[in-house]
A and B are shown apart, each in its own frame.
Chain A
Amino acid sequence: MARNKFNVDEELETEFNWSHYKRIGAYIKPYKKALFITLLIILTANVAGMLGPFFTKIAIDEIIPDKNIPLLIGLSILFLLSLIVIGICMRYRIQWITRIGQNILKDMRLDIFQHLQKLPFSYFDNRPHGKILIRVVNYINTLSDLLSNGLINLISDIISVIITLIFMFAIDAKLTLYSLALLPILGILVWVIKNMQRKAYQVLSNKQSNMNAYIHESIAGIKITQSFAREDENYEIFDEVSNETRTSWMKAVSIQFLLWPGVQNISVLTTSLIYFVGIRQIGVDVSTGTLVAFIGYVNNFWNPVINMGNFYNALITASAYLERIFETLDVEPDIKDSPKAIQMPTIKGNVTFDHVSFRYEEGKNILNDASFHINSGESIALVGPTGAGKSTIINLLSRFYDVNEGSVKIDDIDVRDVTLKSLRSQMGVMLQDTFVFSGTILDNIRYGKLDATEDEIITAAKIVRADDFIKDLKDGYHTVVEERGSTLSAGQRQLISFARALLANPKILILDEATSSIDTKTEELLQEGITELLKGRTSFIIAHRLSTIKNSSQIFYIDGGRIAEKGTHDELMALKGLYYHLYQSQYDLLKVM
């Protein structure tokens, strides 16, 4: 699937279907008991609620005409008691329903978040992050009412409808059939509205997602926007995106709102039909009292039906969001533990690439039959032109991607045969794109080893020469930095990530352009610091600076997805090949003043 951008609607893999209901059911299941209790509470309240009108009827029909004041007062007290029962029921109903609803949402949100953690880089790289975010938080929130109030009311409405129907049949079967005569029309109406509403809400959810993506990127990229003075153009784009959301919203609700008038009119038509038929048959086979009572039941029948219609309406609305949530949950991670995966034993650091080929897309090999072996404790520098496959090699080593052909082995164990966690937790990777979390500097370094003491952290920071600048900050190690560390300089962020990688005490250390923004002096000090530490550990370094490369035990020159040259600096210089050319040209550049 091609990469998605903010103004392109995402394709939908699977539409909402019946199996989705089952999945919703699975979320509800743990709360079966609570739901049942709530249902009992509601039924109790409903019965108590029916007492009021009943008391009123008795009073008006008998007690008041009889001028029986004590009985009237007694009845009023009973009425009051029924209200108290309703009040108590309501109290527990609110409590239980909210608890069930919020728990279901919490579970769902946790599931989607947990699943996201399993998804590979490519999932995050292929779509704007705003579109992922909206699914975890906003979409799930829209389900809140449906899964708590909606669901329980649905059950109690179904019960009401069934009970009412039984009463109606008991009173007069013929009239009951008349009152059901218009149900097919209702069915057709619901079906037509449903189809239109489905489409409209799918469009809307896409537009909302697009808008979210655009807002997200606008905020994340605000510094670029301001430095290019592009605010007005952005504003216009936002205007369009925002307007699309508004238009599709209006369209969706204008369809959704049709249901209520439809059901209401059909209900009145039905009542009229009963009157029409009933009154003509009065004295034939219907008595006046029966007719009046029957009409009362018809109203009792339609109220829950209207509610059920509203529920269905809400369900259709929600399905546009649910299908996106389930879609995310259904994305199979490309990289996952194999069922037979074992724990990676403590890594010694022998690395073998055995005829490895790799491509991000068919027909364009990034690595082409690359083979090499590295002994534990060696430091390897990877050099070569942009796009030659340097980063790919280290990505395969940490199993961020899987090879297409051949195998990657560490200590003679294929990386695909071990669990991801046991593999990655023994590797220290410092990525090109440093990422600093919001929180203290201490916590940021601690990310490499969660149970590290403050001393350990400071030691790591000292080794990479980060201590110098951290000490000078307002609150030292406890200085709070913002997301992405926007108040730190790029070099400072690299030092923090470096300390983080080091603290993890990795068996294999991978540095991808790790020191590009660090000044020469600090870099030299840093290298002195880590030389001692690197002894006995295998390390991979991608860098452009000669100083970083030269002292490695082996240098790989990568070109066209193959290891074109490998050897020590001296060997490669003697070879007078690609590396020699690279080195010489840099040397000339420095020397020619």
Chain B
Amino acid sequence: MNNYQWIWSYVKKNKKKVITATLILLANSFFVVIIPILSGRLIDEVIENNQVQLLVPILLAMVGATLIRTVTRYIYQLLYEKVGQDAQFDIRQDMYKKLQELDFDFFNHNRVGDIMARMTGDMDAIRHFVSWVCYNIAECVVWFVVAIIVMMNIDWKLTLGLVAVTPIIFIFTQKMSRAAHPVFLEIRESFSRLNSMVEENISGNRVVKAFSREEYEIEKFNHFNNDYQKRNLDSANVSKKYLPWLDGFAGMLAVITLLLGGLFVIQGSMTIGDLVAFNGFMWLLNMPMRMSGWLINDVQRFNASCVKIRNLLKTESQIRVEERKQTKKISGYVTFKNVSFAFSDDPETQILKNVSFAVRPGQTVGILGETGSGKSTLVNLIARFYDPTEGEVLIDHVNAKEWPVRKLRDQISMVMQDIFLFSNTIEENISFGKPFLNIEQIQRVATIADAHNFIVRMPEGYNTIVGERGVGLSGGQKQRISLARALAKDPSILILDDTTSAVDMETESKIQKELNQLTQDKTTFIIAHRISSVRDADFILVLDKGEVKEQGTHMELVAKKGLYYDVYKRQLGLVEQEEGGATIGP
């Protein structure tokens, strides 16, 4: 499918509007021709032949024709605009939907600024094509055809002489088209890089300031800003190479008419009146040719943006989102059978190696391990943000791949390590997973997460708007709000990835007590570094470089005197040391 067929698939549903608009455009061309004819008649009949009685009718006809012409043009312009807007709207919806479906892997490797560029600048090039370029091309074609017909009627030989020049123009447009295409692709790429750089600068503004790297950032920006400027000049270079030629050949038509027509008149095969009339319609033939170069630029801009947008739409998520309806509620059995995992871009490095364990509903699993040992990846497999490279993850004894993804995720609540809050009210942030929660329910989960107290102390309480990503809140506050958000969903499986790391231990233990009440029939995973966070779990997995090195209850693992014991000793030791060396033990 080429770009034109593709865009047609979005325009198709407005077929009636397109046809109507095009018919009006065709009818309109009649008035485009009639107005100069009328003014010609006015001079010939009224002024030269002194037929004053014709003055008022001709003037009225002229005014009327203009009125009709302008009103109809206004109508078809708006119709095309509407068609363009509708197409843009639909493509944008498709893009948005696609983005919602794409997997983590995609977002790990595509920059926000680049995606934004596609959603804005590229989208606009497409809108411009449908709502402006298309009807301008149509106008040009119609005028060209009308001009040929009218001119054929006046003198077919001369017309053929002119038409003979058109292949040259055609060759030039083809050449220019080919030259412009890569330049516009470069412009779009450069735009996307510029957008990405600025986006990152805005997101990272705190780090920039903390290191007072403003000048360095400006230097970086200059690089991209200059590149974008340069790419645009490249496009001007293509234009300046071809456009003067196209314009010149269009002008040549008038010279040919003058010379050839003059010779015909001198020969006697054409009257001078015909030559004047012929010349009067010259602009109709000229205009489309002059426009052709500019339109080619627009068409190539459209093509370049199409590539970017269609590439995104073509990207397939590795995690397929099935539309299949499944209403079964998950009870919370989670089984890992010899699961191994590596990221697709680095298949050599195994993040998880042969992990096996089984959890029953109501159980709590603690996960402990060094930085980068695969803890977050392990829980990401449960919610199917990635699929294992080997082995299988079973949810309620069914392979996670068999579950409809959204249904599965709907029953799993995950508090991710990277807290993301939306720039919205706290209330709406908490009810994110369950939009129709009432305020009592929101306050209840906030209380469990020990967030209620600090929320009500804020100037606008639950209606306080937090900045993007929750800036302005402390780490502990963000963690507690996102915990409340996870709890609001009332999931079957609750996953807490380092959720209380920025909360003091006393608050943590308070939260844990509340959680224990709430999660009696749920499966809970807790990733943490503090022994105090995982101590009460039904069993604890100790990960080391992707492998489960130890597995058991707190007591069992302490008795084992392995990795877990080592961490325990270190954390407790610091306390013990101070208190005068009490014995370490369970």
Which residues of chain A come closer than 8 Å to B104, judged between CB atoms?
223, 226, 486
Number of interface residues of A (CB under 8 A): 173
Which among A64, A95, A212, A524 is the interface contact of B240 at CB below 8 angstroms? A95
Q: Given A128-B423, A219-B116, A265-B67, is A59 in contact with B229 using a C-beta cutoff of 8 Å?
A: no
* Stretch of A11-19, A24-32, A131-139, A184-192 lying at the B interface: A131-139
Extra contacts, 5 of them, besides A427-B210, A589-B506 (Cβ < 8 A), are: A227-B414, A265-B66, A390-B474, A469-B371, A483-B196
Which residues of chain A come closer than 8 Å to B206, judged between CB atoms?
121, 124, 431, 433, 435
B316 within 8 A of A: no
Which among A80, A106, A229, A483 is the interface contact of B226 at CB below 8 angstroms? A106
A167 within 8 A of B: no
Q: Which of B237-295 contact A (CB under 8 A)?
A: 237, 239-240, 243-245, 247-248, 251-252, 254-255, 258-259, 262-263, 265-266, 272, 275-276, 279
Which residues of chain A come closer than 8 Å to B195, judged between CB atoms?
133, 137
CA distance A472 to B349 in the complex (A): 9
The A interface is mostly helix, strand or loop, or mixed, namely helix
Q: Is the CB of A227 within 8 A of B385?
A: yes
* Stretch of A35-43, A86-94, A369-377, A453-461 lying at the B interface: A86-94
Tell me the smallest distance from the CB of A389 to a CB of chain B, in Å: 10
Complex A-B: 19 CB contacts under 8 Å: A3-B465, A76-B259, A90-B243, A129-B199, A216-B116, A226-B104, A227-B414, A228-B432, A246-B85, A260-B70, A260-B74, A400-B210, A474-B346, A486-B104, A495-B371, A517-B498, A518-B529, A569-B578, A593-B555
Q: Is the CB of A227 within 8 A of B209?
A: no
Which among A221, A420, A437, A516 is the interface contact of B212 at CB below 8 angstroms? A420
The proximity string for A residues 553-593 relative to B, scoring 1 for CB distances below 8 Å and 0 otherwise, is: 00000000000000001000000000000100111011101
Q: Is the CB of B55 within 8 A of A217?
A: no
* Stretch of A110-118, A173-181, A316-324, A405-413 lying at the B interface: A110-118
Q: Is the CB of B200 within 8 A of A438?
A: yes
Which residues of chain B come closer than 8 Å to A276, judged between CB atoms?
55-56, 59
Which residues of chain B come closer than 8 Å to A126, judged between CB atoms?
467
Q: Given A116-B202, A234-B100, A387-B457, is A516 in contact with B501 using a C-beta cutoff of 8 Å?
A: yes
* Stretch of A158-166, A251-259, A531-539 lying at the B interface: A251-259
Measured as residues with beta carbon below 8 angstroms from the partner, the interface class of chain B is: 35 or more
Which residues of chain A come closer than 8 Å to B240, judged between CB atoms?
90-92, 94-95
Which residues of chain A come closer than 8 Å to B571, judged between CB atoms?
520, 547, 590
The proximity string for A residues 234-254 relative to B, scoring 1 for CB distances below 8 Å and 0 otherwise, is: 110011001100100110011
Give 6 nearest A-B pairs by CB, closest first: A491-B371, A261-B70, A98-B236, A87-B244, A424-B212, A125-B467
Q: Given A517-B371, A518-B371, is A589 in contact with B532 using a C-beta cutoff of 8 Å?
A: yes
Q: Is the CB of B467 within 8 A of A275?
A: no
Q: Which of A344-358 contact B (CB under 8 A)?
A: none
Q: Given A268-B63, A386-B474, is A279 in contact with B46 using a C-beta cutoff of 8 Å?
A: yes
CA distance A110 to B225 in the complex (A): 8
Q: Is the CB of B259 within 8 A of A224?
A: no
Q: Is the CB of B214 within 8 A of A520?
A: no
Which residues of chain A come closer than 8 Å to B208, judged between CB atoms?
117
Q: Is the CB of B198 within 8 A of A136?
A: yes
A153 within 8 A of B: no
Q: Is the CB of A421 within 8 A of B212?
A: yes
The proximity string for B residues 14-52 relative to A, scoring 1 for CB distances below 8 Å and 0 otherwise, is: 000000000000000000000100010011001110001
Tell me the smallest distance from the CB of A426 to a CB of chain B, in Å: 9
Q: Is the CB of B477 within 8 A of A221?
A: no
Q: Which of B57-96 contact A (CB under 8 A)?
A: 59, 62-63, 66-67, 69-71, 73-74, 77-78, 81-82, 85-86, 88-89, 92-93, 96
